[in-house]
Structure 1
């Protein structure tokens, strides 16, 4: 069996990308810049209201975005998520594999593939309305443990910590990773995920994680502090490797309690922040599985993130494979 850099696990959602205006969000009453879970009826109403607007489809979900950007950098991976035997489900599998990520989870004969309507305003902020659909029924039986065991990292998204069956799948992946010597990477995903499951996230971080990804707001939520510096120190005390993004300020890397600030790359044409954190994680995971030091892995993560914010949607239109030396210089380790 071939080796994989990363075994990814997350929600399998078809992203529906639609540019819109602030006035539309205000009219609909949606909070700008956050992700909101909605039912099929509400999401259908939003799509009806936007009938006639330009729409683009992408295979997505937070961890899936990371896996696709990993492949774009030259990494290898397999992804576990749940789709249905419908048009969106067929599109999802084909689009993931076209992007270079193996996707072999048998589709469900019931329900509908999950979707995420991503509304992007002119200031590049994205507001996401997510209908999880069948993705929320992922179970531990959907995990291919043989592929997990031949991976360098497992990568689990915090969005999965919502239902009993997806929690079981997360825990099994982490437990089997530890048994097989596979490193566990976990992303907190969103401040609301942390606030809703703070005690569980603390336990997972302490007991299972070799690497955690978070942004400053997620870190502050987990540490219960308003100081991002104190938050990072706290998380660093319970996990030996922490990568915290801080918007245009770049990122912070903590290895065994030693914290480094990693400057960002300027975005010449900021269009859409969708997937920036996901792409940062992709760059870091690529770097760590290809011999980069943690700081240089974070530098590559910053670069990948700087490229995605110059795109509409969470998919890079440029190939980054083989460009690490050009961007980072010859000394990468």
Structure 2
């Protein structure tokens, strides 16, 4: 059955505010470079006032992936909760301008729209300070089973698992996709997220609810509770039809039906900002799946998209990904 959308992404709808920062500034604010912390609205306003001028763009992990998918010419929609406020309007306008259909109505009873204050130091490390606000209020009612059934792949981010109603919304989406015979893709999001929800994530995998699982090297080791990368991959791979693991400068691997494919990282001119690298890798890979490409080509598309986004600030591609990928995969 033909789908209206190739991919439908569900995640935390967060406005990213990205600005340069020095190591001294991080020390003054007591921030651990390269970390992600959750903050309240008061701290978000305080830190925002101290930041250098920055760029504001609709983000969140799955939102970045959705924008990358659309940039590759693949039809995509997004579900994520925003408030009926200025940042909520910015989020909707920005993601729709990127070519993504935004399917969630803004609400006035969920607090303020979420934002992530991203401080980028000269070594390209990003330190993230996240106020989840309305994003954490995604309710099961926001999930339309008909929309899920009309998407070839539903892609979900593990970050949403922290609140019971958001978790319920994700499971509702998974069940709707399974009932419609569609694929479910899931990203583990963060090793700390795994430490909080490892049992639930393993249950989803063992129950066969995930068709494509995305992880990075640290996350797969954390999930499998193994000290060795290869052992961790061997532990998890038999339980998911497709396992995709990124390894930063070491490239990525995918395991599907016992076949293991490897891909080198794409060469880059300069590493500027690693924000969104994993999100854009997932975008490229999912776009390849939607286009019916072979496993190594899906990995290649992921590598191309990730390499483009780490050479500038922000988690949105600035070069034409369709042109970049056509030149490599023609």
Task: Tell me the TM-score range normalised by the shorter chain.
Answer: over 0.9
Unmatched segments (≥5 aa) in structure 1: none
Alpha-carbon separation, structure 1, partners of 2:227 and 2:3: 45
Aligned residues: 327
What root-mean-square deviation, in Å, do the aligned CA atoms of Structure 1 and Structure 2 show? 1.2
Match of 1:102 in 2: 101
Alpha-carbon separation, structure 1, partners of 2:205 and 2:36: 23
**SS in structure 2 opposite 1:237?**
helix
Match of 2:62 in 1: 63
The reply to whether residue 298 of structure 1 matches residue 299 of structure 2 is yes
TM-score, with structure 2 as normaliser? 0.97
**SS in structure 1 opposite 2:239?**
coil
Unmatched segments (≥5 aa) in structure 2: none
TM-score, with structure 1 as normaliser? 0.96
CA contact (8 A) 1:275 1:314 kept: yes
Q: Render the CA deviation track for 1:27-67: whole Å, top value 9, x for unaligned.
A: 211121121111111222211222xx121100010000000
Query: Which segment drifts farther, 256-265 or 149-158?
Result: 256-265
Alpha-carbon separation, structure 2, partners of 1:155 and 1:201: 15
Match of 1:223 in 2: 224
Alpha-carbon separation, structure 2, partners of 1:153 and 1:322: 24
CA contact (8 A) 2:304 2:325 kept: no
**SS in structure 1 opposite 2:173?**
helix
Alpha-carbon separation, structure 2, partners of 1:206 and 1:297: 25
Alpha-carbon separation, structure 2, partners of 1:37 and 1:205: 27
Measure how far apart 1:229 and its partner are.
1.0
Q: Render the CA deviation track for 1:175-227: whole Å, top value 9, x for unaligned.
A: 11111011000000000000111010111122200000000000010011121
CA contact (8 A) 1:66 1:279 kept: yes
Match of 1:86 in 2: 85
The reply to whether residue 49 of structure 1 matches residue 36 of structure 2 is no
Alpha-carbon separation, structure 2, partners of 1:177 and 1:131: 30
CA contact (8 A) 1:12 1:64 kept: yes
The reply to whether residue 279 of structure 1 matches residue 261 of structure 2 is no
The reply to whether residue 174 of structure 1 matches residue 177 of structure 2 is no
CA contact (8 A) 2:304 2:324 kept: no
Match of 1:156 in 2: 156
Measure how far apart 1:258 and its partner are.
2.4
Alpha-carbon separation, structure 1, partners of 2:120 and 2:227: 28
Q: Render the CA deviation track for 1:237-263: whole Å, top value 9, x for unaligned.
A: 211200000010110110123222211
CA contact (8 A) 2:289 2:298 kept: yes
Q: Render the CA deviation track for 1:152-172: whole Å, top value 9, x for unaligned.
A: 100000000000110001100
Alpha-carbon separation, structure 1, partners of 2:184 and 2:10: 11
CA contact (8 A) 1:233 1:257 kept: no
Alpha-carbon separation, structure 1, partners of 2:33 and 2:246: 20
Measure how far apart 1:327 and its partner are.
1.5
Equivalences for residues 205-244 of structure 1 within 5 A: 205-207=205-207, 208-244=209-245
Match of 1:28 in 2: 29
Query: Which segment drifts farther, 57-66 or 28-37?
Result: 28-37
**SS in structure 1 opposite 2:83?**
coil
Match of 1:310 in 2: 311
Alpha-carbon separation, structure 2, partners of 1:142 and 1:13: 17
The reply to whether residue 17 of structure 1 matches residue 21 of structure 2 is no
CA contact (8 A) 1:5 1:153 kept: yes
Match of 1:257 in 2: 258
CA contact (8 A) 1:240 1:257 kept: no
CA contact (8 A) 1:74 1:322 kept: no
Q: Render the CA deviation track for 1:126-148: whole Å, top value 9, x for unaligned.
A: 11100000110101110122121
